[in-house]
Structure 1
């Protein structure tokens, strides 16, 4: 089997490459910079790939590239739209009548501003008319809609994933690093409710269903646990026995998204997957 991972230097992409290498699968990693893993690395930027025929040689192409995820990034709407929407549409159109299975990803942030305590199914997410903030969500939601209508890729809508290669500004590594080093921690009140899954558990689930008959469509990925953000803050502080003061400061862009929950697709529910719990897995950030 021959697999390509586009955006292999990101959190999900790098975790996926590492998983596939452990299974002795031939992996080509497309990214801007080398990823530090023993695989075939190809320098990649959206502008550098004008000839898409290089992707025809693979059995699977995982499109993990994303732009504008972090609110502090300096990317503009043109680059965000190209990476999150236009390029994957071109790639999916190019690969439509080939043997290649293209796998892409959305986010349950596409639900938008919500305080509804329910698990959303795929169609409800696609047609949600809730408001939201940011070009990242706008472009990801547009691509999910494109896939729902065109059935061009195997498209997974993800809950919150966590693990070793996370950006240091995300909530879990931010808390761990600051509390461990005695630095101030600034957080919201933490009333937001989120679903979490360890990235390696997620990838195992995805790979399991991808090796079964599966049609191009939009599928909600599984989740392991549901938390209020403040419960995660308390959990991490207890784990590291930190006495560092946690300060409630400012509003965060996702505060209006009070409750985000997805209902796992039936393709996952028919399996008896076992998921590691977050509280038992915090030490992965130091391995």
Structure 2
């Protein structure tokens, strides 16, 4: 099998590429920088902010994965033009070019549970719930992801297109400022911890479960469509912090909750219902947070 991944050295793209290496798939990489943490067969330097991508070299790929994005890390304060170009304009343009070239393989894009916005409901949301949500949102990342999902759900094409809504992805190699590595590193280094009140609920899927899903979807001929990837665990921030402390033989320090503010606290409950994908190919996430602490 041959796969092409757009986006080099990203957290998700690296995990998919490493899986491809283990499976001995032919792997072409497209992006700004040469891949540094995995092998590949060909690398093509591409800057989607400057030029439209020549898609003719993708035609013999069984799967093309668009893993380029911007805006997910609020602390990076990325320009809104970058966010909309990489999250909407570029993938839409590639979809249309693949259609023009009569591509016959599979194109993969990713949405986000954050597209639900500031919902007041506390339940696992279906694909339709996420696609049609009108809940308020205050960031360009969520708006751009909603725009891409609406396009994917509506446009006509002759190739297969999987669009996966994903919850919070975690695992060794993720940004150290994100919750799980932040807690683990602070405990190891004896540093003070500071959190919001910790009442917001998030669903978590380990990054290695995603390439396993892609392999299952290919093997079982998953039809085109929008699919939720339901994470293994759905927990409050406070519960996650507590579990990590317990697993590392520590007690949660008093006064660490409620000492900071974050923009996403208005999104009280974000979790995906994965029944559609489970019924289609039998996929279930397998990795728990406490299983991965030693890998960080």
> For the residues of structure 1 that align with 2:156 and 2:244, how far apart are their CA atoms?
41
Cα distance in structure 2, aligned partners of 1:73 and 1:250: 18
Aligned to 2:165: 157
**Structure 1 range deviating more: 242-251 or 152-161:** 242-251
Structure 1 residue runs of 4 or more that deviate by more than 6 Å after TM superposition: none
- 1:6 aligns with 6
Distance 1:212 1:27 in 2: 21
216-225 or 236-245: bigger deviation? 236-245
- How many angstroms apart in 2 are the aligned matches of 1:274 and 1:261? 14
Q: Which residue of 2 aligns with 1:82?
A: 85
Cα drift, residue 103 of structure 1? 0.3
Q: Residue 228 of structure 1: CA displacement?
A: 0.8
Contact 1:8 1:17 in 2 (8 A): no
CA contact (8 A) 1:183 1:244 kept: no
Task: Report if the CA contact (8 A) 1:196-1:223 is conserved.
Answer: yes
Q: 1-side partners of 2:109 and 2:85: how far apart? A: 15
Of 36-45 and 241-250, deviating more is 241-250
Secondary structure of 1:105 counterpart? strand
* Consecutive unaligned residues in structure 2, runs of 5 or more: none
Q: How does 1:160-175 map to 2 (within 5 A)?
A: 160-175=168-183
Structure 2 partner of 1:199: 207
TM-score, normalised by the number of residues in structure 2: 0.90
Deviates more, 1:63-72 or 1:244-253: 244-253
Q: 2:247 maps to what in 1?
A: 239
Query: What's the TM-score, normalizing by structure 1?
Result: 0.93
TM-aligned CA deviation for residue 110 of structure 1 = 0.3
Q: Say whether residues 1:135 and 2:146 are aligned partners.
A: no
| Rounded Cα–Cα distance in structure 2 between residues aligned with 1:274 and 1:260 | 17
Structure 1 gaps, min length 5: none
For the aligned residue pairs, the C-alpha RMSD in angstroms reads 1.8
Q: Distance in 1 between matches of 2:166 and 2:192?
A: 30
Shift of 1:194: 1.2
